[in-house]
A and B are shown apart, each in its own frame.
Chain A
Amino acid sequence: MKKAEEIGFASLMVIVFAVFVILGWGYAKRPRIVPLTLSIPGLALSLLQLGNLIAKAKRPSKAQQLDARSKPVEKSASVPKPPLSAETRKILEIWTWIVALALGVNFFGFMVALPIFLLGFIKFFAKRTWKLSVLISASFTLAVYLIFYVGLKTNL
């Protein structure tokens, strides 16, 4: 999993640097000097990193080599794909909450989105009591109102 994640991230770096290089070529002479000076080495280094990771992934580890010597390799024609691990599910769930807060802020503003986010997150993600969830979200919203709206007179 970690290896796949490493390769995935290194590939992303390669793609991003490649985009920087390709778009950089299109600019006039002066504005492209620094982008190309930085993005070409960036692309080369991230390709090197990706190559290293792929080579490492193909090379069996010492433990696997020892294991292969002691046991015959069993070929399984249809290995079922593992379901999403609990950790991955948790990560996706957290980012969903964060994106939902951003959407809430965009459509309804901070004073509506913040209490709903806190209430929902503490009740359903942290699995706490309604009493505690309401207490935290209400007191935080009140603090935000007093500090930013009343005190600093900012327009959130």
Chain B
Amino acid sequence: MFEALWDGLILVFSWPAVGYMWIGIIFGLFMGFTPGIGGPVTLALILPFSFGLDKVSAIAFLVATHSVVNNGGSVTAILFGVPGSGPNAATLIDGYPLAQRGEAGRAIGAALGASALGGVFGTIVLACIIPILRPIVLVFGPPEFFMLSILGVLFLATLSGDEPLKGVIAGLMGLMISLIGEELIVGTKRYTFDIIYLWEGIKLVPAVIGLFAIAEMVDLLVKGGAIAKPEKQVALSGPWTGVMDVFRHWGLFIRSCILGVIIGVIPGLGGDVACFLAYGQAAQTARKGEVEYGKGNIGGVIAPEAASNAKEGGALVPTIAFGIPGSGSMAILLGALLIVGVTPGAALLNEDLNLTFTMVWTLAIANLGGTAIMLLLTKPLSKLTFFEGSLIAPVIIAVCFIGAFMTTNSMGDIIVAIVLGIIGYEMKRLNYSRAAMLLGLVLGRIVEQNLFLSIRIFGGDFIFRPIAMGLVIIAVIVVAWSFLRPILKGRNERTA
């Protein structure tokens, strides 16, 4: 075991693997910085370049690129309110208000610090968990996945502040939109109106671009001025304050990392769920007197970023052990590994254990390296928030169009981005939770698939399985609390 660990480290630093790892880090950061491109598109783009490489170089290149994409995306989420990818949408909720307060540097520092340390946390867990993998993953079946997905949407509904009804409506709308397209089991085309583009459903990338990127840019143009308000320019704080914030909120950081790893291990839930659940638990556990979540609380940046990168270690667990990808990106990564001759399963955990630890080391080194690069660039990047919105917004809208179009090279993706942009802009104006809608969109198919599997395998009693039942109880408590909280708050205010 320790010999394989050491071999893995040597392999990462062997030539040309180390060179490919750094190319991957720089490319991943750049792609992450480009709104809407995100992890799956980035991996899909580099896939052809990895075909001719040896196993170690290919692993270093692919894993490094994938592990830093979210770091770049968090920077654009904070600076422009434009998430680089789906998981960064949670960072935006508090990161963007922090930038508007002139604390972009601090927010980026916190995001990068939490990402790097979260990534290392996930890697350590991955290294420790390798010997005891199988029983953990097998405990979760379709009923548990189904309930976890429902719980994810309900958690987000509670984040809609004092208007949980709007949050639930948005979440349900997202779930419904995800059902557009060909149904997976029977093949019925639902809500497609005979439009061929809709047969494959609404793609996540144009949806994220529309709901967040385009909507934010229109808002910026309507309000005028820069992303950060001019009178706050002097308050630009350094990124190191943000890094130190991660240590000051160590309890929140550890909780978020654990949540990220657990979500990562469970196949099918992916990064978006990890980030939003981490954000949800941060908001739920906020202390009295803290800045309200959604209005620039640094905890709202730390929690999703820590979970996002900690999740990558967890997501590698089912991918390398059982060949079950934990997310869309992992599915692409799995495909790439198979192409270069790395077969997940027992062999990778026995004979080729050094290759497994090459992935582990690459994940850790890329996280730290990517963060170091981004920290060096934070100050100049933070100043971008003081540029006039009317100059930045059209350029970002143009990039959004490219990002949306690149999903399937179809005009349909651009139309989806525009339509959801209009809806997203109105939701922002009227205080509907766009995050809840997005999560519904991400989880809809997972909900349906696992519901059918649960009924087929366990019948109507699937809900009474112990873990599923526990999740049902949590869901009921979350819903009851979200509706009771505004009532109790109002009563407290009246008595005070």
Contact = CB atoms under 8 A, between A and B. Distances in A.
B172 A42 contact: yes
A55 to B, nearest CB: 14
A102 B391 contact: no
A34 B179 CA distance: 9
B394 A118 contact: yes
B165 A45 contact: yes
Contact of A87 (B179, B222, B398, B402): B222
Nearest to B179: A35
Interface of B is mostly: helix
Contacts of B129: none
A99 interface: yes
A122 B426 contact: no
B242 to A, nearest CB: 29
Contact of A122 (B394, B402, B418, B429): B394
B169 interface: yes
B405 A156 contact: yes
Interface in B307-350: none
Contacts of B390: 122, 125-126, 128
User: Which among B190, B448, B452 has the greatest number of chain A C-beta atoms within 10 A?
Assistant: B190
A45 B191 contact: no
Contacts of A28: 186, 188
Interface residues of B, number: 47
Nearest to A87: B222
Contact of A31 (B165, B188, B394): B188
Interface stretch (A15-23, A59-67, A71-79): A15-23
B168 A39 contact: no
B286 to A, nearest CB: 26
A117 B411 contact: no
Interface string A118-152: 10011001101000100010001000100010001
- Which of A28, A35, A95, A155 counts the most chain B CB atoms within 10 A? A35
B269 to A, nearest CB: 18
A25 B409 CA distance: 34
Contacts of B472: none
Contact of B402 (A17, A95, A118, A144): A144
A90 interface: yes
Interface string B356-371: 0000000000000000
A30 B455 CA distance: 12
A108 interface: no
Contact of A41 (B172, B185, B405, B451): B172
Contact of B221 (A6, A94, A136): A94
A113 B448 CA distance: 40
A102 B401 contact: yes
A39 B169 CA distance: 10
B391 A136 contact: yes
B156 interface: no
A141 B493 CA distance: 55
A17 B177 CA distance: 10
A5 B430 contact: yes
A84 interface: no
A31 B176 contact: no
Interface string A79-118: 0000000010011001101110110011000100010011
B99 interface: no
Nearest to B388: A126
Interface string A28-40: 1011011100110
Contacts of A152: 45
Contacts of B422: 95
Contacts of B183: 31
24 contacts: A9-B427, A9-B432, A16-B173, A23-B191, A28-B186, A30-B186, A31-B185, A34-B448, A35-B176, A39-B172, A42-B169, A49-B165, A49-B169, A87-B222, A94-B222, A95-B422, A98-B421, A101-B397, A101-B401, A105-B411, A110-B401, A122-B390, A125-B221, A155-B409
Interface of B: 45, 165-166, 168-169, 172-173, 175-176, 179, 183, 185-186, 188, 190-191, 214, 218, 221-222, 388, 390-391, 394-395, 397-398, 401-402, 405-406, 409, 411, 414-415, 418, 421-422, 426-427, 429-430, 432, 447-448, 451-452
